[in-house]
Amino acid sequence: MTRALALLALVALTGSASAQGLSALKGHDSNAPIDISSDHLEVQDRADRAIWVGNVHVIQGDMTMDAARMTASYTQSQTPGGNPQINRIDASGGVTVVSPTERAKGSFGIYDVNRRLITLIGNVSLVRGANTVNGARLVIDMNTGRATVDGNSVDGGNTSRSGGRVTGHFTVPQRTTAAPANGTKTPPK
C-alpha cells in the first residue's frame, strides 16, 4: 500500500509522458543568462564568489528563485575580458523556486548549475496544480524532470513539519457511476 501511494505521488507531481507531462524544469536551459537583483551585493573576487543579501530575486529563462540571501560561486573566464561563469548558487531564508507549472519552497536551497540539480532542505513543499508533497528534502533533476522528496534531511535529522515522513495531498478526478450492464440499479451504500 505504501509503495502504491509513493508511486501515485511521484506520478501526480512529476507526471509521465502518457499522463500529465513532465516537470516544466525538464530540459531547462541552465546555459541561459542568470539575472540577479537584491538590496545589497558583496563581491569577493579572490574567493570567486558574490553574496547577494535582501530580497534576492534570480531569473533564468522561465524559472525564478527567491530568498533572503544567496551566494554565487563562479569561475573566472579563461579568455581576456570574458565573463565569469556561475557554477552554483546557495540560498537561505525562505527559498522559493517557481517554474511555469510548479512552486517549490524550503529553508535552504542549492542550485548546482553544472549538474542541473536544485536541492531544497528544511520544511520543503512542492506544489503542482492542486497537488502538494511535503518533506524535509527535495531534489529536482532538470535533466530528467524528476522530483524526489525525502522525509529526513541528508544528515538524518528531521527538518520537516511531517515528523520525518513525506506527506501529500492529491486531487482525484470526479467520476460518475455508470449503471450496471444488466439494467439493474446499484443498491445504495
Q: What is the dihedral of CA 109, 50, 65, 164, to 10 degrees?
A: 10
| Chosen CATH of 2-169 out of 2.60.40.10, 3.40.225.10, 2.60.450.10, 3.40.50.300 | 2.60.450.10
Dist. CA 130–CA 132, nearest whole Å:
7
Q: Are 102 and 128 in contact (CB under 8 A)?
A: yes
Cell digits of residue 132: 502538494
Query: Of 107, 128, 110, 126, nearest to 118 (Cα)?
Result: 110
pLDDT score recorded for residue 14: 40
Q: How confident is the model at residue 186 (pLDDT cuts 50, 70, 90)?
A: low
pLDDT in tens, 73-97: 999 888 887 888 999 999 999 999 9
Which stretch of DSSP H or E encloses residue 102? Answer: strand 102-112
pLDDT in tens, 99-126: 998 999 999 999 999 999 999 999 999 9
pTM: 0.76
Q: Are 116 and 89 in contact (CB under 8 A)?
A: no
Q: How confident is the model at residue 20 (pLDDT cuts 50, 70, 90)?
A: very low
Name residues whose C-beta falls within 8 Å of residue 96's C-beta, 6 or more positions apart in sequence. 64, 65, 66, 67, 103, 104, 105
Rounded to an integer, what is the distance from CA 39 to the centroid of its chain? 25
Who has greater pLDDT, 188 or 171?
171
Dist. CA 80–CA 96, nearest whole Å:
36
Dist. CA 60–CA 47, nearest whole Å:
24
Give the residue carrying C-alpha cell 513539519: 161
Dist. CA 84–CA 77, nearest whole Å:
5
At 153, which amino acid appears?
S
% of the chain exceeding 70 in pLDDT: 75
Cell digits of residue 120: 531544497
